[in-house]
Amino acid sequence: MMPALLSVAASLASYAGFACLALAMPRHWAEASGQESAAAPHRRRLRPLGLLMLGVSYALCVYRDGPSFGALLWVLLCYAAAIAVALTLTWQPRLLLPAVWLYRSVAKGP
Amino acid sequence: MEHTFGNAMARLHTWAGVILGGLLFAIFWMGTLCVFDREIDRWMMPKTRLAKTSDISLDHLARAVASTVPAKASQWRVDLPTDRVPTLRFSCRDGAGDVIARHLDPATYQIIPDQGTKAGTGFIFPFHYGLHLKWKDLGKWFVGLAAMTMLVLLVSGVVVHKKIFAQFFTFRPRKGVQRGSLDLHCLTGVIGLPFHLAMTLSGLIIFVSFYFPQAQWGAYGSGEGAKAAYTAEAFGSFTRPRADAPGTLASLDAMASQAEREWAGGQPYFVRVWHPGDANSYVELRRSYAGDITMNLDQIYFDAASGELLHRFEAAAVMKVQRFISGLHFIQFDHWTLRWLYFLAGLSGCVMIATGFIFWLGARRARHARKGLAGVRVVEGLTVGSVTGIIVATLAFFAANRLLPQGTSFAGQGRAALEIWTFYLVWVACFIQAWWRPAAAWREQAWAICVIALACVLLNSVTTGDHLIRTVSQRTWAVAGMDAMLLLLTLLAAWVAIRLGRKAVDRAVQSGPVSIATEVRS
C-alpha cells in the first residue's frame, strides 16, 4: 500500500511541478486563466515553485525505491507528467485553474 | 538557401530522418514491445500460462531432466521461475553442439509440449537488435547505423526546432494536421530527449564489443586466445576438460544454499551442469538481478561430485558500469511501474518518428503535386508501410499464432516459421498497398489494425478459453494485459480511421493545404 501511495504522490508532485513551470509561461497562463496575461510578475514565483515540486517528487521517488531505482523512476515520471501537462493544456486547460487561484491568493498576500 | 549552421542542421535532420526513419520506427516499435516480451510469450504459448511456484527442488529437477539430456551432452541448464516467467526453462547442448530447449511445468517438472512459436523473446526481441538479418551480421550493423543516426537526429533536432523551449508544453491539434504533428514531434522529442538519448546510447554500449572491438583489441590483442582472455576477465568463465570417466552429481540444493550464503541472500536464477555424468563435471550458478538495475555477472562454480566450491567471479568496476548501462536498457528488473513507464516512453518515441514523417509529407505535398515530383508519393508509401504497416504485420503475427493448429507445416516450414512468414508477407503487402493507394492507405491500414487487434482478442478467448474476465479474476496478468492493450489499440485505431474518413470527405469538398514548412527554417 505504502509504495503505491508514494508513487501516486510522486506522480502528482511531478505533474504539479510541470504545471507550475507551464503556467510560468505567458501563453499557457493565458490558456489556463482565460485572460491575456500582461507582463505579470507571476513568472518569478511559479518557476521556483515548480522546481520545488519536482524536487519533492524526486525525494519521494528516492524514498520509495532507493537512489538508483528512485532516480530512474523520477526521470520517467517527469516524462509522463510533462506530456500529461501538455495534453491538459490542449484539451482541458481549465483543470489548471486551481493552480492559478492558488497562485493569485499567495501573490495577493503580504 | 543560405549556408548557415541552422540550415545545415535542418537539411541533416530532414534527410537523415526521411532516409532512416522507417528503420528507426521498426526498431522503436519492436523495442517497445520487448518491454513486455515475456508477457507476449505467455499470450502466444498458452500452455505456459501457469501459476508461479516458489518451491523448486534442484535435485528433484536434476532427476526429472536426466532422461532428456542426451549422452555426451556438453552441458544442460535450467532457468528458474521468475515473476514474469512461471515455467522452468530447460536447455542443453548435445554432443554435436545442437541446442534442445523446452519449458517444464514448475509443479510437476514435466516437459510442456513445444508451443510452435518464437513469440516475443524469440522473434520480437532479436528483431529489435538484429532485424533477423544474420548474414555478415548485417542486421546489427543496420541497427548500429540507425542508433548513430538517432543520436545525430536528437542533437540536430534541438538546433532545428529552436522554438521547442519557447513552445514547451504546446500541442495544438485543432490547428490542423501540420501544426499538430509538428507540435507533437517537438513535444515528444524534447521532453523525451533524456530517455531517447539514454536508450540509444545504452543500446550501442550493450554491443560495445561488437561495434567497437578496437577497445578490447587495444588491451588484449586480437585473435581467438585474446578474445577468450577478454571474455574470461570481463564476463567470467571457468572451464575444465572432461575426464572421460563416469562421475556423480552431489546435491544441487546444497550448492544453491551455499551460493545464497556467499551472495548474502542473492538467489540463483539459473543452474548449469557442465559435462553431465563425467568425473570432471562441474556446476555453475548465476546470481539473479531481478532486484537491481545492474545486471550483475556474479557466478559460482562447484565440483559436481563433491559440491566443493571451485571458482567465484564478480565483474570488475568497468564491467559493472557497462552492466548498469545495459540494465537500464534491458529492464530485466522487477518493477511494474517502471516497466509501464518504459512502455509509454517507447510508444511516445514511435509517435515522435511518425509525426516527423507526417510533417515532412505535409510540408511538401502541395509543392510536389504542382511540380509533378514523385518524392512525396515514395516517402508516403515508406511512411505508411513502416508505421501502420509494421503494426498490422505484428498483429497478423499474433493472429497467425492463434489460428495455426499445433504441428502445422507448409512447404517445409514449421509452425514457428509460418508465423514469421505471415509477419513479413503482411508487412510487404502493407508497403505495396501504401504505394498503390496512397490516398486511402492510412485509413485502410488503421481499419486493418482495428479489425485484427479485435480478432486477436476473440481468437485468444476462443482457442484457449482465457477471456478477459477469466484472466483478470484468475490474476493471469500477462494475458489480461496483452488482451487489454489489444482492445485499447482496437478503439484507438477505429477512432483514427473514422477521423481520417471524415477528413477525406472534407478534403473532397474543399481543398486548401496550408504550408508552414518555412517555420522550421525561420
Measured CB to CB, residues of chain B less than 8 Å from chain A are 167-173, 187-188, 191-192, 194-195, 292-293, 328, 333, 335, 337-338, 341-342, 344-345, 348
ipTM: 0.90
Measured CA to CA in angstroms, residue B469 lies from A39, B401, B476 at distances of 56, 22, 10
Contact B338 A76 (CB under 8 A): yes
Q: What is the 3-state secondary structure (H, E, C) of B333-381?
A: CCCHHHHHHHHHHHHHHHHHHHHHHHHHHHHHHHHHHHHCCCHHHHHHH
User: Cβ contacts (< 8 Å) between B172 and chain A: which residues?
Assistant: 90
Q: Give the residue among B331, B338, B333, B281 at the shortest CA–CA distance from B310.
A: B281
A8: contact with B, CB 8 A cutoff = no
User: Cβ contacts (< 8 Å) between A77 and chain B: which residues?
Assistant: 341
Question: Closest-CA residue in chain B for A3?
Answer: B337
| pLDDT (average), residues B2-30 | 91
Q: What is the pLDDT of residues B375-394, one digit of tens each?
A: 888 899 999 999 999 999 99
Residue B520 pLDDT > 60, yes or no?
A: no
Name the strand (E) or helix (H) holding A28.
helix A26-33
Q: What is the 3-state secondary structure (H, E, C) of B146-166?
A: HHHHHHHHHHHHHHHCHHHCC
Sheet holding B268-274, edge to edge: B111-112, B99-104, B88-93, B75-79, B268-274, B282-287, B299-303, B309-313
Q: Which one of B194, B333, B344 has the shortest CB-CB distance to A80?
A: B344
Q: What percentage of chain B carries pLDDT values higher than 70?
A: 97
Q: Which one of A22, A72, A86 has the shortest CB-CB distance to B293?
A: A72
pLDDT given for residue B177 in this prediction:
85
A105: contact with B, CB 8 A cutoff = no
Contact B169 A85 (CB under 8 A): yes
Residue B492 pLDDT > 80, yes or no?
A: yes
pLDDT given for residue B85 in this prediction:
93
CA–CA separation, B474 and B457 (whole Å): 17
Q: Which one of A22, A25, A73 has the shortest CB-CB distance to B337?
A: A73
User: Cβ contacts (< 8 Å) between A73 and chain B: which residues?
Assistant: 335, 337-338, 341
Residue B159 pLDDT > 90, yes or no?
A: no
Question: Closest-CA residue in chain B for A78?
Answer: B191
Q: What angle do CA A9, A68, A85 make, to 5 degrees?
A: 40
Residue B175 pLDDT > 90, yes or no?
A: no
Q: Which one of B169, B293, B348 has the shortest CB-CB distance to A22?
A: B169
Contact A79 B168 (CB under 8 A): no
CA–CA separation, B428 and B439 (whole Å): 18
3-state secondary structure of B283: strand
- The answer to whether B269 and B291 are in contact (CB under 8 A) is no
pLDDT given for residue B512 in this prediction:
43
pLDDT given for residue A39 in this prediction:
55
Cell of B279: 568425473
User: Cβ contacts (< 8 Å) between B328 and chain A: which residues?
Assistant: 72
3-state secondary structure of B79: strand
Question: Closest-CA residue in chain B for A68?
Answer: B293
Q: Which residues pair with B99 in a beta bridge?
A: B93
Say which residues have a Cβ less than 8 Å from residue A72's Cβ, sequence separation at least 6.
B293, B328, B338
Say which residues have a Cβ less than 8 Å from residue B270's Cβ, sequence separation at least 6.
B77, B78, B79, B80, B285, B286
Neighbours of B499 (CB within 10 A): 12
CA–CA separation, A11 and B344 (whole Å): 15
Cell of B442: 492510412
Structural domain boundaries in chain A = 2-108
Question: In which band, very low, low, confident or very high, does the pLDDT at A37 lie, cut at 50, 70 and 90?
Answer: low
Contact B341 A79 (CB under 8 A): yes
Q: Which residues pair with B302 in a beta bridge?
A: B283, B309
CA–CA separation, B236 and B468 (whole Å): 45
Q: What is the pLDDT of residues B455-466, one digit of tens each?
A: 999 999 999 999
Distance (Å) from the alpha carbon of B451 to chain A's nearest alpha carbon: 28
CA–CA separation, B263 and B4 (whole Å): 58
Q: Which residues pair with B311 in a beta bridge?
A: B301
pLDDT given for residue A110 in this prediction:
39
Amino acid present at B373: L
Residue B117 pLDDT > 80, yes or no?
A: yes
User: Cβ contacts (< 8 Å) between A8 and chain B: which residues?
Assistant: none
Task: Look up the pTM and report it.
Answer: 0.92
pLDDT given for residue B515 in this prediction:
41
Counting beta carbons within 10 angstroms of the beta carbon of residue A45, is it exposed (0 to 12), middle (13 to 18) or buried (19 or more)?
middle
A107: contact with B, CB 8 A cutoff = no
Contact B191 A86 (CB under 8 A): yes
Residue B122 pLDDT > 60, yes or no?
A: yes
Residue B363 pLDDT > 70, yes or no?
A: yes
Distance (Å) from the alpha carbon of B334 to chain A's nearest alpha carbon: 11
Residue A14 pLDDT > 80, yes or no?
A: yes
Interface of A with B in 14-43 (CB under 8 A): 18, 21-22, 25, 27-28
Which one of A79, A88, A89 makes the best mutation probe of the B interface by having the most chain B beta carbons within 10 Å?
A79
Q: Which one of A69, A79, A89 has the shortest CB-CB distance to B293?
A: A69
| pLDDT (average), residues B328-343 | 94
Radius of gyration from C-alpha coordinates of chain A:
15
- The tally of CA atoms less than 13 A away on the side-chain side of residue B101 is 9
CB pairs under 8 A between A and B: 64
